[in-house]
A and B are shown apart, each in its own frame.
Chain A
Amino acid sequence: MADIRDLHLRVPSIQKDWRAFLASHGLSGFPDNEVAAVDSVIGLYDGGRLVGTGATAGNILKFIAVDEGDTPGAYFNQVVSELQNRLMAAGHTHMMVFTKPQYEASFHYVGFTTLAKTAVGVLLEAGMPTITQYLRGLPDAAAAAGQHLAAIVMNANPFTRGHRYLVEKAAAENDAVDVFVVSTDRSLFTSAERLQLVQTGLADLQNVRVFPGGDYMVSYATFPAYFLHAGDDVIRYQTTIDARLFRDWVAPTLHITKRYVGEEPRSHTTAIYNTVLAAELPPAVQLVVVPRLTAAGTVVTATQVRQAIADQDLASVRAFLPPTTWSFIQSHEAALLQRIEKGQTIRGN
């Protein structure tokens, strides 16, 4: 009977053995910041020998590798169920894993469901709520019969008149609009602040509903490169997963037929995302690319708003902001500045 032990990667010799074991299973070359971000790492030992490993980071299972063993799948099942028990004990009742296509069947065998896949990777989930339960649980999110429903996914860091312009256009051209605000908390404005600013900034539009995007829409699980710097190949692969998840689960469950995005002149990552959405969504979902709103002779972007906060030059972006966001920033200027000073990046997203 194999037994589970905690692996303390801060001990150099333990980390060295662990990396060697992963390398022997074809997992290598991951950056130090990815290793540093894990919450817990376990090793499976059989007769004193390391035969399997796995880790958790947030609600994500990572770095899973196991030897074959005498009973096929036994080591794998033991590692996965230990990780699931740990996540559940930590309050993560919904869990996800990114893996290579050849391991998809192994995860299916232990109750995982595939959310999206490409030639190089698969995203699966387990636990509850499942994606179907999450989507069905959004009050009134689904289109009524005969309705044309559009969707917009935004980080809104923070909500600007540019975001508002995009929503107004979608609201005018469709019966209803579902706005999903990115839930991952890695931006200058917290997810609660971003959601609240979107809600208050759109409160007067009767046919617009605002929801948190959960784990499914541009989340740290589906699209980490949105939050961490990565190469173009990685961005293309992750955005493909994100686009397919939207196309295959979110759109059909909620009867969404159109997705609106802002044209992207500035952010390289978001520009790739828009290209991938255009390639993946049709014909099931129509993609509508809306040119950016301009104010004071320049396109409105949240990036410039964050820069103005860092430069303590709020007046320069006043024209970009709806009254609700403007008053929030004014009353929280010191706190926002403090976050930037503490190392919160204002570049990227």
Chain B
Amino acid sequence: MAIKKTALAGTLESSDIQITLAPAASGGIQIDLDSAVASQYGDQIKKVITAALQGLGITDALVKAVDKGALDCVIKARTIAAGQRALEQTEPAWEVL
């Protein structure tokens, strides 16, 4: 599934992550990550984002992630919030949580 519109979730405060999603016709999930800990945890952060988007059925998207030291659970929650906004879903996706 491709997303319909550009959406954002999260903040730039410490221990949070700001996720922006934009539509992409193809090319899979392409993540541009800004993080002070990218060299240690970059792969793990991208893995969590990709898994959360796939859980929503999103296969193609441009992702910008600005990480301020978020834990995996926060990354997952912010990604799901951005994903549901991008899909214009208002009901919580319980089965994904």
Determine the distance from Cα of A88 to Cα of B66 in the docked complex, in whole angstroms: 15
Total residues of chain A contacting the partner, CB 8 A: 17
A129 close to B22 (CB less than 8 A):
yes
A77 close to B22 (CB less than 8 A):
no
A331 within 8 A of B: no
Min CB–CB distance B76 → chain A (angstroms): 19
A128 close to B12 (CB less than 8 A):
no
* Chain A residues positioned under 8 Å from B12 (CB to CB): 77-78, 80-81, 84, 110-111
A111 close to B18 (CB less than 8 A):
yes
> Main secondary structure on chain A at its contact with chain B?
helix
* Chain B residues positioned under 8 Å from A110 (CB to CB): 12, 18, 66
Could you tell me which residues of chain B, from 12 to 27, have a CB within 8 Å of some CB in chain A?
A: 12-14, 18, 20, 22
Determine the distance from Cα of A127 to Cα of B66 in the docked complex, in whole angstroms: 11
Interface residues on B, range: 10 to 19
Determine the distance from Cα of A8 to Cα of B11 in the docked complex, in whole angstroms: 24
Determine the distance from Cα of A80 to Cα of B68 in the docked complex, in whole angstroms: 14
Residue in contact with B7 in the complex, picked from A77, A88, A129, CB distance below 8 Å:
A88
B34 within 8 A of A: yes
9 nearest A-B pairs in the assembled complex, by CB-CB distance: A111-B66, A93-B6, A128-B22, A77-B12, A81-B11, A81-B12, A88-B8, A110-B12, A111-B34
Q: 21 A-B pairs, CB-CB below 8 angstroms?
A: A71-B14, A74-B13, A74-B14, A77-B68, A78-B11, A78-B12, A81-B12, A81-B18, A84-B18, A85-B8, A85-B11, A88-B6, A93-B20, A111-B12, A111-B34, A111-B64, A127-B20, A128-B62, A128-B64, A129-B6, A133-B62
Interface residues of B (CB under 8 A from A): 5-8, 10-14, 18, 20, 22, 34, 62, 64, 66, 68
